[in-house]
Structure 1
């Protein structure tokens, strides 16, 4: 494969840095460590570009969102790996479908837009990689069962933690039992208003539980307003030391209203955290109800009952923690990387 490695070009034109961008970075970095030479087309001045520049052996090509020369530094021998769909219009309008080899990793659960362009792009792809069985189902429902797809889950980021920093976090939060959440503060996607509701229920029952939301986003002010009378809700803002927070949580809550897989969920099980999640999208590929977490119904979810069980039953928490540390081995960076290497070899 190394003979062909320089023919591999990743494409991710996202401006922010969320789960998809972190997964792109993890894969590029892991391939680089194995001696692969790669190109990456990324949004000019984006956070992804900044982080890619710390990796050796790659050629970062910075482009504007609508730069029609985005693919000028590739050839017909290049295998393009699209990590998002933002560049599809440019790709299509340049007529590159006729000459380029490409694969696409589909990361979101919602049904893709179906039009002439998308039908052509999905049909001509050498492989549509889906993070979960749920995503694969929506792709085939949208474009037909003949679409050549493959499931390769995301990987845990393998965050480390600093025991001293973790202790400081514990001391700052005035509750003995911590329920954590990590994600963009966007209730329409991540469902954080249900965390506020849960915190209110815990307060009404005088449970010594603190709820910690790590992240930032468009609904931050809304969530703070809804919880202004709750002393058991904490907002950290955007942080880099995610592992320090994961190490102090007792339970991880994941109330997403739709989710392809959920990379922060993989980080939580890597730390052995019991999970309470809404049963949507690809989450059931990770969580088995009662074994390594609890799944609640999509409509009218009851997060409170499983939370109380975990709060009161340390033996249950320990059992689930052990199961999750074992489960997390299925979502290692090495396992994801080897799956992609196998795919690249087939395509090149």
Structure 2
């Protein structure tokens, strides 16, 4: 098949990386692929060997450029990622000269779309969603359930390979190897719950542990950290290209978000057999129910209780970590690519029947 992915994101967001991981695997399966992105999108630097097609700087020129590219490339599949790309393809697909192209759009967030019109487009043959919770949201705005396919996120094995040994990381951070390390990977947005996580940490009295926060900026949260008097516990590490270096020294992983579908960070924790305490939101329970500790979103007291339960029970940490680790094969890029390949073939067979 000739497969085109189309993203309107100019950043290396989690959704864009997921698209790239998948396209790379589809290429390995022997399909001819191309990834259409805005000009100078930062994701291009992540994999220069990908067949990148850069859109013009002027968004008004996107349609003509895209139509010309499609006419010459002659794809059998177009899969759109990100909100603006979905809006564009929902409209553009109505005017394609050939009706033999299967058109898909991907939804990876659980909040309700503010504009349902693109989701009602008869030009889109299928919507992929990265969780059952996400699928339910788009079904609620009128997308038929049979037009939705749940395809979970994936994590390439190279994302789990540390480039610095565990002992060196511990020394670098002045952490005693005997101390329990609690970690999270988050951003500064309030929806990610960093403030809730910090308040939960402040409730863990008389315990010996250290905290790693990757992603979030220290400057944003230092006032709260000082107010809670936990600055001696917390290491803010900022953005890290290789999170595996720090996941390898964690004993407990935390996801305090107020909203998620299936966060990439959960898959990273699974890859390291880490026990997880997480908010019961979005698609997280689909994976974590019975295999981790789920707490009410926004409740720092419940979060603290969950963290303390794992801190005090190493055997439970090992049991839950092993249960999650057994799921690792479900989130490999080749698993996702094979699922999409089967879906694409099914959609194309339907096209040929008309």
1:320 deviates by 1.0
State the alpha-carbon separation in 2 of the partners of residues 224 and 182 from structure 1.
17
Which blocks of at least 5 consecutive residues in structure 1 are unaligned?
none
> 1:61: how far off?
3.1
Change (3 A) 1:36 1:196: same
Other structure's SS at 2:341 match = helix
Q: Provide Cα deviations, 1:139-182, integer angstroms capped at 9, x if missing partner.
A: 01112445610111001232233374332222214351111111
Question: 1:89 & 1:180 partners in 2: Cα distance?
Answer: 37
Q: Is the 8 A contact 2:44 2:52 kept in 1?
A: no
Partner residue in 1 for 2:124: 125
Give the corresponding residue for 2:78: 80
Q: Secondary structure at the match of 1:193?
A: helix
Gaps of 5+ in 2: 349-354
Tell me how far apart the structure 2 counterparts of residues 144 and 240 of structure 1 sit (CA, whole Å). Answer: 37
1:64 and 2:62 matched: no
Query: What does the per-residue CA deviation read over 1:96-121, in whole Å, with 9 as the maximum and x for residues that have no partner?
Result: 32326410111000001234x42443
After superposition, the CA RMSD in angstroms is 2.2
Matches of residues 161-172 of structure 1 in structure 2 within 5 Å?
A: 161-162=161-162, 164-171=164-171, 172=173
Alignment correspondent of 1:152? 151
Question: TM-score of the superposition, structure 1-length normalised?
Answer: 0.88
C-alpha distance in 2 between matches for 1:224 and 1:97: 51
CA–CA distance in structure 1, aligned partners of residues 75 and 331 of structure 2: 31
Question: 1:323-334 alignment to 2 at 5 Å?
Answer: 323-334=323-334
Judging by fraction of residues, say which structure has more helix. Answer: 2
Counterpart position of 2:201: 199
- The corresponding residue for 1:98 is 95
Q: Distance in 1 between matches of 2:19 and 2:75?
A: 22
Does residue 295 in structure 1 map to residue 294 in structure 2? yes
Does 1:17 find its partner at 2:12? yes
Deviations 1:268-302 (A, max 9, x none): 111100000000000011101xx321000135351
- Describe the SS at the equivalent of 1:342: helix
TM alignment of 1:1-348, pairs within 5 A:
4=1, 6=2, 8-55=3-50, 58-64=51-57, 66=59, 67-68=61-62, 69-71=64-66, 72-75=68-71, 77-91=75-89, 95-99=92-96, 101-115=102-116, 117-121=117-121, 123-145=122-144, 148-158=147-157, 159-162=159-162, 164-171=164-171, 172-174=173-175, 176-187=179-190, 189-202=191-204, 205-216=205-216, 221-228=219-226, 229=229, 230-288=231-289, 291-301=290-300, 302-348=302-348
Equivalent position SS for 1:261: coil
Change in Cα spacing, 1:65 to 1:91, as seen in structure 2 (3 Å) is farther
Aligned residues: 331
Relative distance call for 1:19 and 1:226 in structure 2 (3 A) is same
In structure 2, relative to structure 1, the CA distance for the partners of 1:46 and 1:276 (3 Å cut) is: same
Q: Distance in 2 between matches of 1:64 and 1:293?
A: 45
The alpha-carbon distance between structure 1 residues 173 and 102, as it changes in their structure 2 partners (threshold 3 A), is farther
Summarize the Cα distance change of 1:65–1:269 in structure 2 as closer, same or farther, 3 Å threshold: farther
Q: Once the 2 structures are TM-superposed, how far is the Cα of residue 333 of structure 1 from its aligned partner?
A: 1.4
